[in-house]
């Protein structure tokens, strides 16, 4: 098995507000906030971190196994993933719950406001990491609170290296729990906002977090990303998208690139650039699992974007 990705599988309802949130929110009235955003178009997409990452990893030629709990309405999503070769061996269906669902509104500055109903996801802890399934890398991404705690402990107990990717789940945890995640993980990956929250809650700065793991990765959107590993700081440039269509899911695509580099034994400079290009390719398409490419085309675009060949086999 290549990678086990613990996290959510969800239906995404994606809307675009044709202005900027800041133009509709009065800063001095936040304490009595009551706003409504007109969103002329609505798309229902297949999403959730575990499925998104597994889908993107498959585009690169590796297999990611999502581990998740889903609800009685999962059938259309099951058919979608099956048709795209995403294995469902560790996806458990709960007949008395709905599949998790997100309502995501993006403004013209690519800011997002999301409401999320966890549904079956809050029972993620009933799944357990298989200790002897040949997992080479794991990931703990946003999921049910207890599931994230249990799966991190299970990866560590089984000696399976894993990425801790708290994402939107970070606010669920206090200082002691987040510090424990860092102690158990081999890699921690956050965006810039999450990184600031992680430091604030744990009292650890970037260098202190990096000293506790193999790599600490902070993404900054169009400004690129930073990978702190082995006492070195690698500043990874962003890959330029041909068009900015929809940022939803670009972080998951980036993380699939990280997993691919780790599975193939690439150095951090190359791993970060593969991840950056994956994020750019996702931004060019609406939804989180509608982009696709031939591996040869990816390799050519990597060379054109960064000036060298990554040297990893297809």
Residue 45 token pair = 């997409």
Question: Where are the chain's structural domains?
Answer: 3-22+41-306
Our CA dihedral for 126, 129, 133, 134, rounded to 10 degrees, sits at 160
How does pLDDT run across 198-208, given as a tens digit for each residue? 999 999 999 99
Q: What is the mean pLDDT of residues 17-40?
A: 87
**Dist. CA 312–CA 277, nearest whole Å:** 15
Say if CB 40 and CB 108 are below 8 A apart.
no
* CB atoms near residue 51 (< 10 Å): 29
Helix boundaries (H) for the chain: 49-59, 75-83, 145-157, 175-184, 192-202, 206-210, 250-263, 268-283, 295-306
Of 180, 201, 183, 199, the residue nearest 191 (C-alpha): 199
Q: Is the pLDDT at 314 greater than 80, yes or no?
A: no
How does pLDDT run across 159-171, given as a tens digit for each residue? 999 999 999 899 9
**Strand, helix or coil for residue 114:** strand
**Dist. CA 196–CA 63, nearest whole Å:** 32
- What is the predicted pLDDT for the residue at 287? 87
**Strand, helix or coil for residue 292:** coil
- Give, in order, the Cα–Cα distances in Å from 135 to each of 35, 158, 159, 162: 46, 10, 10, 10
How does pLDDT run across 100-139, given as a tens digit for each residue? 998 989 888 878 888 889 999 999 999 999 998 899 999 9
Which residues, at least 6 apart from 26, have a Cβ–Cβ distance to it below 8 Å?
Answer: none
Q: What is the rounded average pLDDT for all residues in the chain?
A: 95
Residue 96 token pair = 């008395």
Q: What is the mean pLDDT of residues 24-29?
A: 82
Q: Is 102 left (phi over 0), alpha (psi -120 to 50) or beta?
A: beta
Q: What is the mean pLDDT of residues 17-38?
A: 86
Fold of 3-22+41-306: 3.40.1190
Q: Is the pLDDT at 313 greater than 80, yes or no?
A: no
Say if CB 8 and CB 68 are below 8 A apart.
yes
- What is the predicted pLDDT for the residue at 257? 98
**Dist. CA 248–CA 242, nearest whole Å:** 16
Place of tokens 């969103």: 39
| pTM assigned to the model | 0.92
User: What backbone phi and psi angles, to 5 degrees, belong to 276?
Assistant: -60, -40
Residue 176: CA count within 13 A, CB half-sphere: 0
């Amino acid at each position: 098995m290549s990678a086990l990705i613990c996290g959510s599988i969800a239906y995404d309802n994606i809307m675009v507000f044709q202005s900027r949130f800041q133009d509709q929110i009065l800063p001095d009235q936040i304490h009595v906030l009551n706003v409504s955003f007109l969103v002329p178009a609505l798309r229902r997409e297949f999403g959730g971190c575990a499925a998104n990452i597994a889908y993107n990893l498959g585009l690169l030629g590796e297999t990611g196994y999502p581990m998740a709990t889903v609800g009685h309405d999962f059938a259309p999503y099951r058919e979608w993933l099956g048709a795209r070769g995403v294995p469902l061996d560790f996806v458990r269906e709960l007949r008395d719950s709905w599949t998790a669902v997100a309502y995501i509104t993006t403004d013209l500055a690519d800011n997002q406001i999301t409401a999320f109903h966890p549904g079956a996801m809050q029972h993620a802890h009933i799944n357990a990491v298989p200790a002897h399934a040949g997992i080479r890398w794991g990931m703990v991404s946003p999921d049910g609170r207890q599931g994230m705690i249990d799966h991190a402990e299970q990866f560590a107990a089984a000696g399976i290296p894993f990425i801790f990717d708290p994402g939107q789940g970070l606010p669920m945890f206090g200082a002691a729990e987040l510090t424990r995640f860092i102690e158990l993980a081999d890699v921690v990956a956050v965006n810039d906002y999450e990184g600031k929250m992680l430091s604030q809650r744990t009292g650890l700065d970037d260098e202190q977090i990096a000293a506790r793991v193999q790599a600490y990765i902070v993404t900054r959107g169009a400004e690129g990303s930073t990978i702190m590993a082995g006492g070195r700081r690698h500043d990874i440039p962003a890959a330029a998208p041909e068009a900015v269509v929809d940022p939803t899911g670009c972080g998951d695509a980036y993380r699939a690139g990280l997993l691919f580099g780790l599975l193939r034994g690439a150095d951090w400079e190359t791993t970060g650039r593969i991840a950056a290009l994956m994020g750019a390719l996702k931004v060019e398409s609406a939804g989180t699992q509608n982009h696709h490419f031939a591996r040869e085309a990816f390799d050519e675009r990597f060379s054109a974007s960064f000036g060298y060949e990554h040297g990893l086999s297809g």
